[in-house]
Structure 1
Amino acid sequence: MKQFTAGNLAVAAGLAAAGAAFIGMRSNRRAAPVQTHIDTARSFNRSSALLALSVLADSAMEHYRGSYDNPAMVTPLVISALSLLAGVHGGRDHEPQRHPVRDSVYLGAALAGIAGTGFHLYNITKRPGQWSWHNLFYAAPIGAPMALLLSGALGAAAERLRDEPQHEPRLFGLPAGQALALLTSAGLIGTVGEVALLHFRGAFQNPAMYAPVTIPPLASALLLHTALAAPRPRWFTRLWLRMTAALGVIGVGFHARGIARNQGGWRNWSQNLFNGPPLPAPPSFSALALAGLAAQRLRETER
Protein backbone atom coordinates (compact mmCIF):
# COMPACT_ATOMS: atom_id res chain seq x y z
CA MET A 1 0.00 0.00 0.00
CA LYS A 2 2.84 2.39 0.81
CA GLN A 3 4.46 1.77 -2.57
CA PHE A 4 1.15 2.17 -4.36
CA THR A 5 0.57 5.53 -2.74
CA ALA A 6 4.00 6.89 -3.61
CA GLY A 7 3.70 5.79 -7.22
CA ASN A 8 0.26 7.24 -7.66
CA LEU A 9 1.40 10.52 -6.10
CA ALA A 10 4.18 10.82 -8.68
CA VAL A 11 1.89 10.10 -11.64
CA ALA A 12 -0.86 12.40 -10.43
CA ALA A 13 1.52 15.22 -9.60
CA GLY A 14 3.29 14.97 -12.95
CA LEU A 15 0.02 15.13 -14.86
CA ALA A 16 -1.32 17.90 -12.64
CA ALA A 17 1.83 19.94 -13.13
CA ALA A 18 1.57 19.56 -16.89
CA GLY A 19 -2.09 20.55 -16.78
CA ALA A 20 -1.37 23.56 -14.59
CA ALA A 21 1.32 24.74 -16.98
CA PHE A 22 -1.04 24.36 -19.94
CA ILE A 23 -3.76 26.32 -18.16
CA GLY A 24 -1.24 29.01 -17.26
CA MET A 25 -0.18 29.29 -20.89
CA ARG A 26 -3.80 29.73 -21.98
CA SER A 27 -4.45 32.35 -19.33
CA ASN A 28 -1.35 34.27 -20.46
CA ARG A 29 -2.65 34.30 -24.02
CA ARG A 30 -5.98 35.72 -22.86
CA ALA A 31 -4.42 38.39 -20.62
CA ALA A 32 -4.30 42.04 -21.56
CA PRO A 33 -0.95 43.28 -22.92
CA VAL A 34 -0.32 45.52 -19.90
CA GLN A 35 -0.74 44.01 -16.43
CA THR A 36 -0.89 45.78 -13.07
CA HIS A 37 1.66 44.87 -10.44
CA ILE A 38 -1.04 42.87 -8.59
CA ASP A 39 -1.66 40.73 -11.68
CA THR A 40 2.08 40.13 -11.91
CA ALA A 41 2.22 39.18 -8.24
CA ARG A 42 -0.58 36.68 -8.75
CA SER A 43 1.27 35.18 -11.71
CA PHE A 44 4.37 34.75 -9.56
CA ASN A 45 2.25 33.10 -6.85
CA ARG A 46 1.01 30.60 -9.42
CA SER A 47 4.52 29.98 -10.75
CA SER A 48 5.70 29.37 -7.19
CA ALA A 49 2.86 26.87 -6.73
CA LEU A 50 3.79 24.96 -9.88
CA LEU A 51 7.42 24.75 -8.79
CA ALA A 52 6.31 23.59 -5.33
CA LEU A 53 4.17 20.86 -6.90
CA SER A 54 7.17 19.63 -8.89
CA VAL A 55 9.32 19.61 -5.72
CA LEU A 56 6.63 17.82 -3.72
CA ALA A 57 6.26 14.99 -6.22
CA ASP A 58 9.97 14.63 -6.93
CA SER A 59 11.08 14.69 -3.27
CA ALA A 60 8.28 12.29 -2.30
CA MET A 61 9.61 9.75 -4.80
CA GLU A 62 13.33 10.23 -4.18
CA HIS A 63 13.10 10.34 -0.40
CA TYR A 64 10.79 7.32 -0.42
CA ARG A 65 13.50 5.52 -2.39
CA GLY A 66 15.92 6.59 0.35
CA SER A 67 13.57 5.06 2.95
CA TYR A 68 13.53 8.38 4.84
CA ASP A 69 16.73 7.32 6.61
CA ASN A 70 17.13 10.85 7.92
CA PRO A 71 14.01 12.32 9.59
CA ALA A 72 14.86 15.65 7.92
CA MET A 73 13.89 14.06 4.59
CA VAL A 74 10.24 14.70 5.49
CA THR A 75 10.88 18.47 5.58
CA PRO A 76 10.72 19.22 1.82
CA LEU A 77 7.42 17.36 1.54
CA VAL A 78 5.82 19.44 4.27
CA ILE A 79 7.31 22.75 3.15
CA SER A 80 6.58 22.22 -0.56
CA ALA A 81 2.99 21.25 0.25
CA LEU A 82 2.59 24.46 2.25
CA SER A 83 4.22 26.48 -0.54
CA LEU A 84 1.84 24.88 -3.03
CA LEU A 85 -1.18 25.88 -0.93
CA ALA A 86 0.21 29.39 -0.46
CA GLY A 87 0.72 29.76 -4.20
CA VAL A 88 -2.78 28.59 -5.04
CA HIS A 89 -4.21 30.98 -2.47
CA GLY A 90 -2.05 33.87 -3.68
CA GLY A 91 -2.99 33.22 -7.30
CA ARG A 92 -6.61 33.97 -6.38
CA ASP A 93 -5.88 36.92 -4.10
CA HIS A 94 -6.36 40.42 -5.55
CA GLU A 95 -5.47 42.27 -2.34
CA PRO A 96 -2.76 44.97 -2.72
CA GLN A 97 -0.84 43.91 0.37
CA ARG A 98 1.31 40.97 1.36
CA HIS A 99 -0.28 38.10 3.25
CA PRO A 100 1.72 37.40 6.44
CA VAL A 101 1.06 33.64 6.44
CA ARG A 102 1.95 33.20 2.79
CA ASP A 103 5.03 35.35 3.25
CA SER A 104 6.18 33.22 6.20
CA VAL A 105 5.64 30.02 4.21
CA TYR A 106 7.68 31.36 1.29
CA LEU A 107 10.54 32.43 3.54
CA GLY A 108 10.44 28.98 5.17
CA ALA A 109 10.60 27.34 1.73
CA ALA A 110 13.64 29.42 0.80
CA LEU A 111 15.41 28.50 4.04
CA ALA A 112 14.49 24.83 3.60
CA GLY A 113 15.95 24.93 0.09
CA ILE A 114 19.23 26.35 1.42
CA ALA A 115 19.36 23.76 4.21
CA GLY A 116 18.53 20.97 1.75
CA THR A 117 21.38 22.03 -0.49
CA GLY A 118 23.71 21.72 2.49
CA PHE A 119 22.42 18.21 3.25
CA HIS A 120 22.87 17.14 -0.37
CA LEU A 121 26.39 18.57 -0.50
CA TYR A 122 27.21 16.63 2.65
CA ASN A 123 25.76 13.47 1.09
CA ILE A 124 28.15 13.85 -1.85
CA THR A 125 31.27 14.67 0.16
CA LYS A 126 30.85 11.81 2.64
CA ARG A 127 30.96 9.20 -0.15
CA PRO A 128 34.20 7.60 -1.35
CA GLY A 129 35.64 9.75 -4.11
CA GLN A 130 33.71 12.81 -2.94
CA TRP A 131 33.58 15.20 -5.92
CA SER A 132 33.52 12.57 -8.65
CA TRP A 133 31.23 12.22 -11.65
CA HIS A 134 29.78 9.05 -10.15
CA ASN A 135 28.76 10.84 -6.96
CA LEU A 136 27.39 13.83 -8.83
CA PHE A 137 25.30 11.45 -10.92
CA TYR A 138 24.05 9.05 -8.25
CA ALA A 139 24.29 10.77 -4.86
CA ALA A 140 21.61 13.15 -3.61
CA PRO A 141 20.96 15.55 -6.54
CA ILE A 142 22.83 18.73 -5.74
CA GLY A 143 20.43 21.05 -7.54
CA ALA A 144 17.11 19.57 -6.42
CA PRO A 145 16.66 21.58 -3.19
CA MET A 146 17.32 24.78 -5.12
CA ALA A 147 13.91 24.34 -6.76
CA LEU A 148 12.34 24.72 -3.33
CA LEU A 149 14.48 27.80 -2.71
CA LEU A 150 13.33 29.20 -6.05
CA SER A 151 9.68 28.49 -5.25
CA GLY A 152 10.07 30.44 -2.03
CA ALA A 153 11.93 33.26 -3.77
CA LEU A 154 9.24 33.69 -6.45
CA GLY A 155 6.50 33.68 -3.84
CA ALA A 156 8.31 36.09 -1.52
CA ALA A 157 8.92 38.47 -4.43
CA ALA A 158 5.21 38.30 -5.25
CA GLU A 159 4.25 39.21 -1.69
CA ARG A 160 6.62 42.18 -1.61
CA LEU A 161 5.37 43.38 -4.96
CA ARG A 162 1.86 43.60 -3.51
CA ASP A 163 3.07 46.18 -0.98
CA GLU A 164 4.36 48.47 -3.73
CA PRO A 165 2.27 51.32 -5.18
CA GLN A 166 0.61 50.78 -8.54
CA HIS A 167 2.64 53.64 -9.99
CA GLU A 168 6.27 52.58 -10.53
CA PRO A 169 6.55 49.61 -8.12
CA ARG A 170 10.11 48.73 -7.10
CA LEU A 171 11.85 45.65 -5.69
CA PHE A 172 15.39 45.46 -4.31
CA GLY A 173 15.96 49.07 -5.34
CA LEU A 174 15.11 48.37 -8.99
CA PRO A 175 11.96 48.80 -11.08
CA ALA A 176 9.87 45.74 -10.21
CA GLY A 177 9.69 44.35 -13.75
CA GLN A 178 13.45 44.60 -14.11
CA ALA A 179 14.08 42.88 -10.76
CA LEU A 180 11.65 40.06 -11.51
CA ALA A 181 13.13 39.50 -14.97
CA LEU A 182 16.60 39.18 -13.42
CA LEU A 183 15.30 36.76 -10.78
CA THR A 184 13.57 34.56 -13.36
CA SER A 185 16.57 34.61 -15.67
CA ALA A 186 18.82 33.37 -12.85
CA GLY A 187 16.28 30.69 -11.93
CA LEU A 188 16.24 29.35 -15.47
CA ILE A 189 20.03 29.07 -15.59
CA GLY A 190 20.11 27.21 -12.27
CA THR A 191 17.45 24.77 -13.47
CA VAL A 192 19.32 24.15 -16.72
CA GLY A 193 22.45 23.22 -14.74
CA GLU A 194 20.71 20.34 -12.95
CA VAL A 195 19.04 19.13 -16.15
CA ALA A 196 22.32 19.26 -18.07
CA LEU A 197 24.01 17.07 -15.45
CA LEU A 198 21.29 14.40 -15.56
CA HIS A 199 20.97 14.42 -19.34
CA PHE A 200 24.75 14.11 -19.60
CA ARG A 201 24.42 11.05 -17.36
CA GLY A 202 21.93 9.74 -19.91
CA ALA A 203 24.49 10.37 -22.68
CA PHE A 204 21.91 12.46 -24.58
CA GLN A 205 20.80 9.20 -26.15
CA ASN A 206 17.66 10.87 -27.52
CA PRO A 207 18.25 14.07 -29.55
CA ALA A 208 15.24 15.60 -27.78
CA MET A 209 17.35 15.63 -24.61
CA TYR A 210 19.22 18.62 -26.03
CA ALA A 211 16.05 20.76 -26.01
CA PRO A 212 16.03 21.56 -22.25
CA VAL A 213 19.70 22.57 -22.35
CA THR A 214 19.33 24.83 -25.41
CA ILE A 215 15.87 26.44 -25.30
CA PRO A 216 15.81 27.63 -21.65
CA PRO A 217 19.32 29.19 -21.74
CA LEU A 218 18.24 31.42 -24.62
CA ALA A 219 15.06 32.27 -22.71
CA SER A 220 17.26 33.26 -19.77
CA ALA A 221 19.45 35.44 -22.01
CA LEU A 222 16.39 37.12 -23.52
CA LEU A 223 15.01 37.87 -20.06
CA LEU A 224 18.38 39.30 -19.05
CA HIS A 225 18.25 41.55 -22.10
CA THR A 226 14.68 42.53 -21.19
CA ALA A 227 15.89 43.54 -17.73
CA LEU A 228 18.95 45.50 -18.83
CA ALA A 229 17.70 47.15 -22.02
CA ALA A 230 15.20 49.97 -22.35
CA PRO A 231 11.60 48.82 -21.70
CA ARG A 232 9.62 48.08 -24.85
CA PRO A 233 7.48 45.25 -26.26
CA ARG A 234 9.58 42.24 -27.26
CA TRP A 235 7.53 39.78 -29.30
CA PHE A 236 10.40 37.34 -29.84
CA THR A 237 11.07 37.07 -26.10
CA ARG A 238 7.37 36.35 -25.49
CA LEU A 239 7.40 33.71 -28.20
CA TRP A 240 10.52 32.04 -26.81
CA LEU A 241 9.18 32.05 -23.26
CA ARG A 242 5.98 30.37 -24.49
CA MET A 243 8.14 27.76 -26.22
CA THR A 244 9.93 27.22 -22.91
CA ALA A 245 6.60 26.84 -21.10
CA ALA A 246 5.48 24.31 -23.70
CA LEU A 247 8.79 22.48 -23.26
CA GLY A 248 7.81 21.69 -19.68
CA VAL A 249 4.55 20.11 -20.79
CA ILE A 250 6.13 18.19 -23.66
CA GLY A 251 8.92 17.03 -21.35
CA VAL A 252 6.40 15.21 -19.15
CA GLY A 253 5.36 13.24 -22.24
CA PHE A 254 8.97 12.36 -23.10
CA HIS A 255 9.65 11.29 -19.53
CA ALA A 256 6.48 9.18 -19.51
CA ARG A 257 7.73 7.55 -22.70
CA GLY A 258 11.11 6.94 -21.07
CA ILE A 259 9.37 5.16 -18.18
CA ALA A 260 7.34 3.06 -20.63
CA ARG A 261 10.54 1.92 -22.40
CA ASN A 262 11.86 0.25 -19.25
CA GLN A 263 11.25 -3.46 -18.83
CA GLY A 264 7.59 -4.01 -18.02
CA GLY A 265 6.65 -0.47 -19.00
CA TRP A 266 3.78 1.10 -17.11
CA ARG A 267 2.59 -2.35 -16.02
CA ASN A 268 5.66 -2.33 -13.78
CA TRP A 269 5.12 1.31 -12.77
CA SER A 270 5.97 0.76 -9.09
CA GLN A 271 9.58 0.09 -10.12
CA ASN A 272 9.90 2.01 -13.37
CA LEU A 273 8.76 5.31 -11.89
CA PHE A 274 11.94 5.22 -9.82
CA ASN A 275 14.19 3.89 -12.60
CA GLY A 276 12.94 6.08 -15.43
CA PRO A 277 13.40 9.82 -15.96
CA PRO A 278 11.73 11.92 -13.22
CA LEU A 279 8.15 12.58 -14.30
CA PRO A 280 7.58 15.73 -12.16
CA ALA A 281 10.78 17.54 -13.21
CA PRO A 282 10.03 19.18 -16.62
CA PRO A 283 7.19 21.51 -15.46
CA SER A 284 9.74 23.56 -13.55
CA PHE A 285 10.59 25.14 -16.93
CA SER A 286 6.92 25.96 -17.45
CA ALA A 287 6.72 27.60 -14.03
CA LEU A 288 9.73 29.83 -14.69
CA ALA A 289 8.65 30.67 -18.24
CA LEU A 290 5.22 31.79 -16.99
CA ALA A 291 6.94 33.93 -14.36
CA GLY A 292 9.17 35.37 -17.08
CA LEU A 293 6.15 36.30 -19.20
CA ALA A 294 4.61 38.12 -16.23
CA ALA A 295 7.88 39.93 -15.51
CA GLN A 296 8.18 41.03 -19.12
CA ARG A 297 4.62 42.39 -19.20
CA LEU A 298 5.37 44.46 -16.11
CA ARG A 299 8.72 45.57 -17.54
CA GLU A 300 7.00 46.88 -20.67
CA THR A 301 5.01 49.35 -18.55
CA GLU A 302 8.13 50.84 -16.91
CA ARG A 303 9.95 53.98 -18.00
Structure 2
Amino acid sequence: MRIQRTAAGVLALLALSACGTETGAGAGSGSGSGSGAVRTDLPVTGVRWDVGSVTADGKRTAAPSGAHVEIDSKGRGTGNYGCNHFTADVRIDGGTINVGQGTSTSMACEKDVQRFEAALSRTFSGELTMAVAERTLTLTAENGDSIALRAQPPVPLTGTTWTVTTLVSGTVASSLPAGAQEKARIVFGKDGSVQGTLGCNSFRGTAKVSGSTITFGRIDGTKMMCPAPRMKLERELLAVLDGRTTYRIDQRTLSLTAANGKGLGASATEATG
Protein backbone atom coordinates (compact mmCIF):
# COMPACT_ATOMS: atom_id res chain seq x y z
CA MET A 1 0.00 0.00 0.00
CA ARG A 2 1.19 3.54 -0.53
CA ILE A 3 0.11 6.62 1.41
CA GLN A 4 -0.79 9.67 -0.63
CA ARG A 5 -3.19 12.55 -0.89
CA THR A 6 -6.32 11.28 -2.59
CA ALA A 7 -8.79 13.55 -4.22
CA ALA A 8 -11.33 10.92 -5.02
CA GLY A 9 -11.91 10.27 -1.36
CA VAL A 10 -12.45 13.97 -1.11
CA LEU A 11 -15.11 13.73 -3.74
CA ALA A 12 -17.01 11.24 -1.72
CA LEU A 13 -16.91 13.20 1.49
CA LEU A 14 -17.57 16.38 -0.38
CA ALA A 15 -20.78 14.83 -1.58
CA LEU A 16 -21.54 14.11 2.06
CA SER A 17 -21.07 17.79 2.75
CA ALA A 18 -23.74 18.45 0.14
CA CYS A 19 -26.05 16.19 2.10
CA GLY A 20 -25.29 18.16 5.23
CA THR A 21 -26.37 21.39 3.57
CA GLU A 22 -29.60 20.02 2.15
CA THR A 23 -31.75 20.70 5.20
CA GLY A 24 -30.76 24.32 5.55
CA ALA A 25 -31.00 24.93 1.85
CA GLY A 26 -34.37 23.28 1.66
CA ALA A 27 -35.75 25.51 4.39
CA GLY A 28 -34.89 28.53 2.33
CA SER A 29 -35.59 27.14 -1.08
CA GLY A 30 -37.73 30.05 -2.03
CA SER A 31 -35.16 32.68 -1.18
CA GLY A 32 -32.70 32.10 -4.03
CA SER A 33 -29.15 30.80 -4.07
CA GLY A 34 -27.35 33.77 -2.58
CA SER A 35 -26.60 31.89 0.65
CA GLY A 36 -24.02 29.75 -1.18
CA ALA A 37 -25.53 26.49 0.11
CA VAL A 38 -25.23 23.54 -2.22
CA ARG A 39 -28.49 21.73 -2.85
CA THR A 40 -29.25 18.40 -4.46
CA ASP A 41 -32.25 16.09 -4.55
CA LEU A 42 -29.94 13.08 -4.87
CA PRO A 43 -29.03 10.92 -1.90
CA VAL A 44 -25.25 11.08 -1.71
CA THR A 45 -24.58 8.00 0.42
CA GLY A 46 -24.89 4.61 -1.19
CA VAL A 47 -24.51 6.21 -4.62
CA ARG A 48 -21.74 5.61 -7.12
CA TRP A 49 -20.23 8.83 -8.48
CA ASP A 50 -18.48 7.97 -11.74
CA VAL A 51 -15.49 10.16 -12.57
CA GLY A 52 -16.05 11.52 -16.05
CA SER A 53 -12.97 13.66 -16.57
CA VAL A 54 -10.22 15.75 -15.01
CA THR A 55 -9.28 19.17 -16.35
CA ALA A 56 -5.75 20.22 -15.37
CA ASP A 57 -3.63 23.03 -16.86
CA GLY A 58 -6.42 23.67 -19.35
CA LYS A 59 -6.37 20.09 -20.69
CA ARG A 60 -9.39 17.83 -20.21
CA THR A 61 -8.67 14.10 -19.87
CA ALA A 62 -11.41 11.50 -19.89
CA ALA A 63 -11.38 9.10 -16.95
CA PRO A 64 -10.60 5.39 -17.39
CA SER A 65 -13.51 3.00 -17.18
CA GLY A 66 -14.25 2.15 -13.57
CA ALA A 67 -12.96 5.37 -11.97
CA HIS A 68 -15.48 6.25 -9.29
CA VAL A 69 -16.19 7.50 -5.77
CA GLU A 70 -18.57 6.17 -3.12
CA ILE A 71 -19.37 7.04 0.49
CA ASP A 72 -20.98 5.04 3.26
CA SER A 73 -23.41 6.29 5.90
CA LYS A 74 -20.48 7.28 8.16
CA GLY A 75 -18.88 9.47 5.53
CA ARG A 76 -15.96 7.20 4.69
CA GLY A 77 -14.76 7.74 1.15
CA THR A 78 -13.70 4.84 -1.06
CA GLY A 79 -13.36 4.29 -4.77
CA ASN A 80 -11.17 3.50 -7.73
CA TYR A 81 -8.88 5.74 -9.79
CA GLY A 82 -9.43 3.56 -12.86
CA CYS A 83 -6.95 0.89 -11.77
CA ASN A 84 -6.03 1.35 -8.10
CA HIS A 85 -8.47 1.41 -5.19
CA PHE A 86 -8.33 4.07 -2.49
CA THR A 87 -9.75 5.28 0.83
CA ALA A 88 -9.43 8.77 2.31
CA ASP A 89 -10.58 11.28 4.92
CA VAL A 90 -11.04 15.01 4.44
CA ARG A 91 -11.89 18.07 6.52
CA ILE A 92 -15.07 19.90 5.46
CA ASP A 93 -15.47 23.61 6.25
CA GLY A 94 -18.67 25.08 4.90
CA GLY A 95 -18.54 25.02 1.11
CA THR A 96 -14.87 24.03 0.98
CA ILE A 97 -12.89 20.93 1.80
CA ASN A 98 -9.24 20.18 2.51
CA VAL A 99 -7.77 16.91 1.32
CA GLY A 100 -6.25 14.77 4.06
CA GLN A 101 -3.97 11.80 3.70
CA GLY A 102 -5.35 8.54 2.42
CA THR A 103 -4.27 5.13 1.23
CA SER A 104 -4.36 3.46 -2.16
CA THR A 105 -3.22 0.23 -3.68
CA SER A 106 -0.11 0.24 -5.85
CA MET A 107 -0.88 -2.14 -8.69
CA ALA A 108 0.99 -1.75 -11.94
CA CYS A 109 -1.39 -0.22 -14.49
CA GLU A 110 -1.38 0.74 -18.14
CA LYS A 111 0.63 3.92 -18.84
CA ASP A 112 -2.39 5.98 -19.85
CA VAL A 113 -4.17 5.02 -16.64
CA GLN A 114 -1.07 5.81 -14.58
CA ARG A 115 -0.92 9.26 -16.12
CA PHE A 116 -4.58 9.85 -15.33
CA GLU A 117 -4.14 8.71 -11.74
CA ALA A 118 -1.16 11.04 -11.33
CA ALA A 119 -3.19 13.96 -12.71
CA LEU A 120 -6.07 13.15 -10.39
CA SER A 121 -3.78 13.07 -7.35
CA ARG A 122 -2.14 16.38 -8.30
CA THR A 123 -5.46 18.09 -8.97
CA PHE A 124 -7.13 17.03 -5.75
CA SER A 125 -5.01 18.51 -3.02
CA GLY A 126 -5.48 21.46 -0.72
CA GLU A 127 -8.73 23.39 -0.74
CA LEU A 128 -11.55 22.45 -3.13
CA THR A 129 -15.02 23.80 -3.78
CA MET A 130 -18.00 21.92 -5.17
CA ALA A 131 -21.13 22.40 -7.22
CA VAL A 132 -24.01 19.94 -7.56
CA ALA A 133 -26.59 20.14 -10.34
CA GLU A 134 -29.10 17.35 -10.98
CA ARG A 135 -26.96 14.19 -11.15
CA THR A 136 -23.64 15.96 -11.71
CA LEU A 137 -20.96 16.90 -9.18
CA THR A 138 -18.09 19.25 -10.07
CA LEU A 139 -15.05 19.81 -7.83
CA THR A 140 -12.77 22.76 -8.44
CA ALA A 141 -9.31 23.54 -7.06
CA GLU A 142 -8.03 27.05 -6.32
CA ASN A 143 -6.03 27.12 -9.57
CA GLY A 144 -9.13 26.30 -11.65
CA ASP A 145 -8.38 22.63 -12.26
CA SER A 146 -11.50 20.51 -11.85
CA ILE A 147 -13.06 17.07 -11.92
CA ALA A 148 -16.50 16.14 -13.24
CA LEU A 149 -18.56 13.28 -11.79
CA ARG A 150 -21.98 11.84 -12.43
CA ALA A 151 -24.21 9.78 -10.13
CA GLN A 152 -25.00 6.27 -11.31
CA PRO A 153 -27.60 3.90 -9.89
CA PRO A 154 -26.39 0.61 -8.38
CA VAL A 155 -26.94 -2.60 -10.31
CA PRO A 156 -27.49 -6.19 -9.11
CA LEU A 157 -25.21 -9.14 -9.84
CA THR A 158 -27.94 -11.12 -11.60
CA GLY A 159 -29.69 -9.94 -14.74
CA THR A 160 -26.91 -7.46 -15.59
CA THR A 161 -24.60 -7.72 -18.57
CA TRP A 162 -21.03 -7.40 -17.26
CA THR A 163 -18.45 -6.41 -19.87
CA VAL A 164 -14.94 -7.49 -18.90
CA THR A 165 -12.55 -4.52 -18.82
CA THR A 166 -9.54 -5.66 -16.79
CA LEU A 167 -7.50 -8.77 -16.09
CA VAL A 168 -5.79 -9.24 -12.72
CA SER A 169 -2.92 -11.51 -11.74
CA GLY A 170 -2.01 -11.15 -8.09
CA THR A 171 -1.44 -7.42 -7.53
CA VAL A 172 -1.01 -6.54 -11.21
CA ALA A 173 -3.97 -5.28 -13.23
CA SER A 174 -3.82 -4.97 -17.00
CA SER A 175 -6.05 -4.01 -19.88
CA LEU A 176 -7.41 -6.65 -22.23
CA PRO A 177 -5.21 -7.85 -25.11
CA ALA A 178 -5.26 -5.60 -28.18
CA GLY A 179 -8.21 -6.47 -30.38
CA ALA A 180 -10.12 -8.13 -27.54
CA GLN A 181 -11.70 -5.10 -25.89
CA GLU A 182 -15.45 -5.37 -25.29
CA LYS A 183 -15.44 -8.95 -26.60
CA ALA A 184 -16.15 -10.69 -23.29
CA ARG A 185 -19.48 -10.43 -21.47
CA ILE A 186 -20.91 -12.34 -18.52
CA VAL A 187 -24.52 -12.60 -17.35
CA PHE A 188 -25.55 -14.30 -14.10
CA GLY A 189 -29.10 -15.65 -13.94
CA LYS A 190 -31.33 -15.75 -10.88
CA ASP A 191 -31.70 -19.50 -11.51
CA GLY A 192 -27.99 -20.13 -10.82
CA SER A 193 -26.92 -20.08 -14.45
CA VAL A 194 -24.12 -18.08 -16.06
CA GLN A 195 -23.65 -17.39 -19.75
CA GLY A 196 -22.02 -15.00 -22.15
CA THR A 197 -18.94 -14.77 -24.36
CA LEU A 198 -15.28 -15.34 -23.46
CA GLY A 199 -13.78 -13.09 -26.08
CA CYS A 200 -14.28 -15.60 -28.87
CA ASN A 201 -16.65 -18.42 -27.97
CA SER A 202 -20.01 -18.22 -26.27
CA PHE A 203 -20.44 -20.24 -23.08
CA ARG A 204 -22.99 -21.45 -20.56
CA GLY A 205 -22.62 -23.02 -17.13
CA THR A 206 -23.68 -22.84 -13.49
CA ALA A 207 -22.73 -20.32 -10.81
CA LYS A 208 -23.86 -20.75 -7.21
CA VAL A 209 -23.86 -17.47 -5.28
CA SER A 210 -23.43 -17.57 -1.50
CA GLY A 211 -22.57 -14.46 0.47
CA SER A 212 -19.49 -12.90 -1.17
CA THR A 213 -18.55 -16.04 -3.11
CA ILE A 214 -19.51 -17.54 -6.45
CA THR A 215 -18.78 -21.20 -7.12
CA PHE A 216 -18.63 -21.99 -10.82
CA GLY A 217 -19.58 -25.41 -12.08
CA ARG A 218 -18.84 -26.89 -15.47
CA ILE A 219 -18.50 -24.35 -18.27
CA ASP A 220 -19.56 -25.51 -21.74
CA GLY A 221 -18.90 -23.45 -24.84
CA THR A 222 -18.57 -23.34 -28.60
CA LYS A 223 -15.28 -24.38 -30.21
CA MET A 224 -14.53 -21.69 -32.76
CA MET A 225 -11.00 -20.54 -33.49
CA CYS A 226 -10.48 -16.77 -33.32
CA PRO A 227 -7.58 -14.30 -33.62
CA ALA A 228 -4.78 -14.88 -31.09
CA PRO A 229 -5.60 -11.92 -28.77
CA ARG A 230 -9.18 -13.11 -28.30
CA MET A 231 -8.11 -16.71 -27.71
CA LYS A 232 -5.61 -15.46 -25.11
CA LEU A 233 -8.40 -13.56 -23.35
CA GLU A 234 -10.56 -16.68 -23.38
CA ARG A 235 -7.85 -18.72 -21.64
CA GLU A 236 -7.38 -16.00 -19.03
CA LEU A 237 -11.10 -15.86 -18.27
CA LEU A 238 -11.50 -19.62 -18.01
CA ALA A 239 -8.79 -19.55 -15.33
CA VAL A 240 -11.01 -17.18 -13.33
CA LEU A 241 -14.36 -18.87 -13.92
CA ASP A 242 -13.20 -22.08 -12.30
CA GLY A 243 -14.48 -23.28 -8.94
CA ARG A 244 -14.83 -20.99 -5.96
CA THR A 245 -14.24 -17.26 -6.42
CA THR A 246 -14.87 -14.17 -4.33
CA TYR A 247 -16.76 -11.25 -5.79
CA ARG A 248 -17.45 -7.63 -5.00
CA ILE A 249 -19.77 -5.10 -6.62
CA ASP A 250 -18.98 -1.38 -6.39
CA GLN A 251 -22.26 0.02 -7.71
CA ARG A 252 -21.59 -0.69 -11.43
CA THR A 253 -18.22 -2.45 -11.26
CA LEU A 254 -17.78 -6.17 -10.63
CA SER A 255 -14.54 -7.75 -9.35
CA LEU A 256 -13.99 -11.52 -9.41
CA THR A 257 -10.96 -13.19 -7.79
CA ALA A 258 -10.20 -16.90 -8.01
CA ALA A 259 -8.23 -18.92 -5.43
CA ASN A 260 -5.22 -18.97 -7.77
CA GLY A 261 -4.98 -15.17 -7.68
CA LYS A 262 -6.38 -14.71 -11.16
CA GLY A 263 -9.15 -12.17 -11.44
CA LEU A 264 -11.12 -9.82 -13.62
CA GLY A 265 -12.88 -6.48 -13.48
CA ALA A 266 -16.09 -5.81 -15.38
CA SER A 267 -18.47 -2.91 -15.87
CA ALA A 268 -22.25 -3.03 -16.13
CA THR A 269 -23.33 -2.16 -19.64
CA GLU A 270 -27.01 -3.07 -19.83
CA ALA A 271 -29.73 -4.93 -18.00
CA THR A 272 -31.14 -8.09 -19.50
CA GLY A 273 -34.31 -8.05 -17.43
Pairwise TM-score range, normalised by the shorter structure: under 0.3
Structure with higher Rg: it is: 2
Q: TM-score, normalised by structure 1?
A: 0.24
More strand by share: 2
More helix by share: 1
Structure of higher RCO (CA pairs closer than 8 Å, 6+ residues apart): 1
Q: TM-score, normalised by structure 2?
A: 0.26
